[in-house]
Amino acid sequence: MATKNLSSNAESVVLKDYESVIIFTPVLSEDQLKDVVSKYRNLITENGGELVHEENWGLTKLAYPIQKKTTGFYHLFEFKANPEFISKFELAFRRDERIMRFLTVALDKHALVYNTRKRNGEFNQGKKEQKQEGAK
């Protein structure tokens, strides 16, 4: 019976919601950027995580220079994972010289609702309607 309890505990691992924003160095080519993003996407899924949403924000000007660079490729991952995985995930970020900065945060219930509404396009509808009315 002890082995059944252990296996059932392993199956009932609670996944928490996280969001990571990563800034990649601007010297990467488009193919290199796709490769490094797929590496981290696979790292999430291979460790029992579930990718909820992913966004490429593209090449963006930085607020201040990082490593003497003024731009960087921003990429966002929203995912569910075991809390113990985050330290492994961030360690991979620290070891990768293609990453200039990263930030991983745990999402609470309000952030989840906000992100879902944002993905569904509920924001900025008022601005679109105003532009359409202004164009008339």
Which DSSP symbol is given to 5? H
pLDDT averaged over the chain?
A: 86
**pLDDT tens column, 96-105:** 999 999 999 9
Assess contact for 89 and 81: CB atoms under 8 A. yes
- Taking residues 44-69, report their average pLDDT: 93
C-alpha pair distances (Å), 50 with each of 7, 41, 122: 21, 9, 24
| Architecture of the structural domain at 14-120 | 2-Layer Sandwich (3.30)
Domain boundaries, the chain: 14-120
pLDDT tens column, 58-109: 999 999 999 999 999 999 999 999 999 999 999 999 999 999 999 999 999 9
pLDDT at 127: 61
CA distance 45 to 49: 5
Return the structure tokens found at 78. Answer: 């929203």
Q: What is the pLDDT of residue 7?
A: 43
Cβ neighbours for 56, distance < 8 A, ≥ 6 positions apart: 37, 73, 74, 75, 76
pTM: 0.79
